[in-house]
Amino acid sequence: MDSFMYLGVLVVLFLLWIKVKGLDYVIVHQRWIFVCLFLLPLSVVFDVYYYLRAWIIFKMCSAPKLHDQRVKDIQRQISDWRKEGAKTHMCTGRPGWLTVSLRVAKYKKTNKNIMINMMDILDVDIKRQVVRVEPLANMGQVTALLNSIGWTLPVVPELDDLTVGGLVMGTGIESSSHIYGLFQHICVAFELVLADGSLVRCTEEENSDLFHAVPWSCGTLGFLVAAEIKIVPAKQWVKLCYEPVRGLENICQCFTEASQNKGNTFVEGLQYSLDSAVIMTGTMTDHAEPDKINRIGLYFKPWFFKHVEGYLKDDRSGVEYIPLRHYYHRHTRSIFWELQVNRHRHMHTLDLEFDTVMFHNCK
């Protein structure tokens, strides 16, 4: 009973404090309260739901059947739009808060929103080494499924929430892009519903003009309803070498050499000031030295860019073995350095450009 009373008193004091300070002040200056009490629990529930849903649908093999229905539903919405006189432009109905971009897409309020509820992995074709996915399948979902059966995408943009549709229609790049190119370069086919309601498949050979025009078109050519993407065999670990480098020219040279060496499956550079950086090179392996294993994705581990900064501060190189999925999604928890930078944005705006700049190298 006592503990309930203490809790009640604490809640009352907390509410009084919010009343005195103002809700705006608390949300802006004490962001951790909102993050810990609401955002984190909600994110966990959302992630678990999303993961379980994808897993169950895939295991029951019901996704391909539902896919055709979902395409028909998009065609119906477009047909309705035409019947209504096609008065406004169309756009995807995905709300802005679900996308990774911080942009507020005002056009969504006035345009005809076409709802594209397509978030499934449709098929893994080991023979052709291709996975067929719907546009809202995200990177976390794709690696969870593919890695568990020994396969992976050659290019996995880091953040879990990046979707196949966004990466094809927007852009996607990763630390393996010096070998495989951009995300669009590992795609072998796109399926789109066009503004006349027709469903079109395009590949290098079939409708090849459309195939080459789709990447970076930001949805202007049609609605993506599926993509076929190359897959490659996955290994359990990434052996990652950290190398602190000082001096802008040295940084550029080291990064260029690392990227030109095709023995490096992954190359990434994190720059902490104009003339200090850590260059990382990695390869996949099935064997790890036990004393060098670092599961960087565990919730209590330091944010990845902070961990890397340690090598710069101590001025030492190092080697670690990181579980493959932990490596892929290494920047997810901190959204690179966004969480920290946002917290200090009002004080450190100028620092932003020099503090932490990441670069990848693309073929």
Ligand X SMILES: Cc1cc2nc3c(=O)[nH]c(=O)nc-3n(C[C@H](O)[C@H](O)[C@H](O)COP(=O)(O)OP(=O)(O)OC[C@H]3O[C@@H](n4cnc5c(N)ncnc54)[C@H](O)[C@@H]3O)c2cc1C
The residue ranges that bind ligand X (CB under 6 A) are: 92, 94, 99-102, 116, 135, 157-159, 162-163, 165-167, 169-173, 218-219, 223-224, 335, 338
What's the closest the beta carbon of residue 158 comes to ligand X, in angstroms? 4
DSSP 91-123: EE---GGGSS-----THHHHSEEEP-----EEE
Pairing of strands 112-114, 90-92: parallel
Comparing CB distances to ligand X, the nearer of 188 and 194 is 194
Structure token digits, residue 250: 């040295």
Give me the least distance between CB of 219 and ligand X, in Å please: 3
Nearer to ligand X, 248 or 341 (CB): 341
Q: Which two tokens stand for residue 56?
A: 């169950």
Minimum distance from residue 149 beta carbon to ligand X (Å): 24
CB of residue 49 vs ligand X: minimum separation in angstroms? 18
Q: How far is the CB of 81 from ligand X (least distance, A)?
A: 15
Least Å from the CB of residue 23 to ligand X: 26
Q: Bin 86: left if φ > 0, else alpha if -120 < ψ < 50, else beta.
A: left
For residues 348 and 341, the answer to whether their CB atoms sit within 8 Å is: yes
* Cβ closest to ligand X, residue 120 vs residue 158: 158
Instruction: Tell me the HSE value of 4 on the side-chain side, using a 13 A CA sphere.
Output: 1
Alpha-carbon distance of 55 to 81, in angstroms, equals 34
C-alpha to C-alpha distances, 253 to 166, 206, 269, 357, nearest whole angstrom: 32, 41, 12, 17
Q: Of the two residues 184 and 281, which places its CB atom closer to ligand X in the complex?
A: 184
- DSSP, collapsed to helix, strand or coil, labels residue 9 as helix
- Residue 339, classed as helix, strand or coil, is helix
Smaller CB distance to ligand X: residue 26 or 90? 90
If the CB atoms of residues 159 and 210 are measured against ligand X, the closer one turns out to be 159
159 versus 258: smaller Cβ distance to ligand X? 159
- How far is residue 31's CA from residue 43's CA, in Å, rounded to a whole number? 16
Of residues 341, 301, 336, the one with CA closest to residue 322: 301
Nearest approach, Cβ of residue 360 and ligand X (Å): 8
Distance in Å, CB of 164 to ligand X, minimum = 8
Which is nearer to ligand X, 175 or 281 (by Cβ)? 175
Q: Can you tell me the distance from the alpha carbon of 298 to that of 122, in angstroms, rounded to the nearest whole number?
A: 29
| C-alpha dihedral sign at 146, 148, 152, 157 | positive
